[in-house]
Amino acid sequence: MSEIRRIGIFTSGGDSPGMNAALRAIIRAATNHDLHIYGINRGFEGLIDDDIQLIGDDEVRNIIQRGGTILKTARSERFMSYEGRKIAFENLKARDIDGLIAIGGNGTFTGASIFYKEFGIPMVGLPGTIDNDLYGTDFTIGFDTAINTAVHAVDMIRDTAESHNRLFLIEVMGRHSGYIAVHTAIASGASAIVIPEKKTTIDELVNNLKKSLRRKKLFGLVILAEGNELGETHEIAKEIKQRVPEYDIRVTIIGHLQRGGSPTAFDRILAGRLGYEAVEAIVRGQYNVMAGLINDQITFTNFDDAVLNKKVPGDYYIQLAEILGR
Ligand code: F6P
């Protein structure tokens, strides 16, 4: 068992639905071990600015259902420098905070790993990002809610697209990841996907549309991940229009809608399990790891492995989206 008595918790990077449920779980589990808990506002930024306060059961009442994060979040440039991290360490020492739990994505754990190596502050992470692109877990907190939001949006677009016989290019989030696009496409019955993990040329896209045209199909839903390599979605729409003018094309960018809203039951339960396990890990002295879920089993993955290995949507899912969507 470790000697840790005071832990700081923070959320960092892009927010994701279920972060609040995770904070609640961490605080409940830490209270169970009589730990003192400090909430650090705005992620690494708050660590540097000493924006830290005691937090307890009262603060996490009535938040399990809320999107966003009550601790706020930020992407921190300053934490990328040694000077920034040193200030953060001194702030923690001044308050006798001897352990940290971080909820975030790739950037968060990159920073966490460097911080742990430089200053030895025990840290455990929880995967919180809508992108689902973290190695060491089948699901990140927020992904399920994000795809449900995206599917709901595509269902609504389908109504008008079908009524007008239009082709819609629908852009979903995922700067480096096609997870949201692939899973949204499967669940919404979209006709095609364009994702960063699989090269798609404009010729392929146009040829498939020409085939549909020969079958007199003018209605279609194409899901594009924000980070696809084909280009900006409006530009792709222009190019298609030039080459297949028969199509009446519209573009919808779902955007940050996908990051908000009440978390699904799946995300709340995932957040609860991982929050609880993160506290248990820090109490038994298991540090520098991210708690995750693989085949429904709790796993712990080194921060370095979590960030250096790339997790991509499986070929099986990509194929499923393509074959079922034809
Ligand atoms: O949190 C992940 C993510 O939503 C990506 O899918 C997206 O590319 C990015 O964040 C957007 O970041 P920001 O809100 O800082 O523009």
Question: What 3-state DSSP class applies to 212?
Answer: helix
Query: Mean pLDDT over residues 23-48, rounded?
Result: 97
What mean pLDDT do residues 100-109 have?
Answer: 96
Please report the domains of the chain, with CATH numbers, ordered by start residue: 6-142+263-308 (3.40.50.450), 145-259 (3.40.50.460)
* Cα–Cα distance measured from residue 185 to residue 167, given in angstroms and rounded to the nearest whole number: 15
- pTM for the full predicted model: 0.97
Return the exposure string of 162-182: e unless at least 16 CB atoms fall within 10 Å of the residue's CB, then b. Answer: eeeebbbbbbbbbeebbbbbb
If one residue of 129, 173, 256 were mutated to test the ligand 1 pocket, choosing by the most ligand atoms within 8 A of its CB, it would be: 173
Say which residues have a Cβ less than 8 Å from residue 200's Cβ, sequence separation at least 6: 193, 194, 228, 230
Q: What is the predicted pLDDT for the residue at 3?
A: 85
Q: Which residues of 24-45 are buried (b: 16+ CB within 10 A; e: fewer)?
A: bbbbebbeeeebbbbbbbbbbb
Q: Given strand 99-104, what is the order of strands in its sheet?
A: 52-54, 36-40, 6-11, 99-104, 123-127, 289-294, 297-302
What are the tens digits of pLDDT across the range 179-231?
A: 999 999 999 999 999 999 999 999 999 999 999 999 999 999 999 999 999 99
> Residue 104 C-alpha to ligand 1 middle, in angstroms?
12
Task: Tell me which of 131, 133, 144, 267 is the catalytic residue.
Answer: 131
**For this structure, is 138 an active site residue?**
no
Side chain identity at residue 215, one-letter code: R
pLDDT of residue 256: 98
Cα 313 from Cα 195, distance rounded (Å): 10
Q: What's the mean pLDDT when you consider all of the chain?
A: 96
* Residue among 19, 176, 259 whose CB has most ligand 1 atoms within 8 A, to mutate: 259
2: pLDDT strictly greater than 80: no
Separation CA 43–CA 10 (nearest Å): 5
Ligand 1 binding pocket (C-beta < 6 A) is: 14, 129-131, 173-175, 226, 259
**What pLDDT is stored for residue 99 in this prediction?**
95
pLDDT at 326: 75
Read off the pLDDT of residues 119-170 as tens digits, 9 standing for 90 and up.
Answer: 999 999 999 999 999 999 999 999 999 999 999 999 999 999 999 999 999 9
Distance CA 196, CA 180 (A): 11
- Residue 126: how many other CB atoms lie within 10 Å: 31
pLDDT band at 1 (very low <50, low <70, confident <90, very high): low
Q: Which two tokens stand for residue 198?
A: 């699989």
Q: What is the pLDDT of residues 263-298, one digit of tens each?
A: 999 999 999 999 999 999 999 999 999 999 999 999
Give the Cα separation of 263 and 65 in Å (integer).
6
Which of 208, 221, 215 lies closest to 250 in space, CA to CA?
Answer: 221
3-state secondary structure 266-322: HHHHHHHHHHHHHHHHHHHCCCCEEEEEECCEEEEEEHHHHHHCCCCCCHHHHHHHH
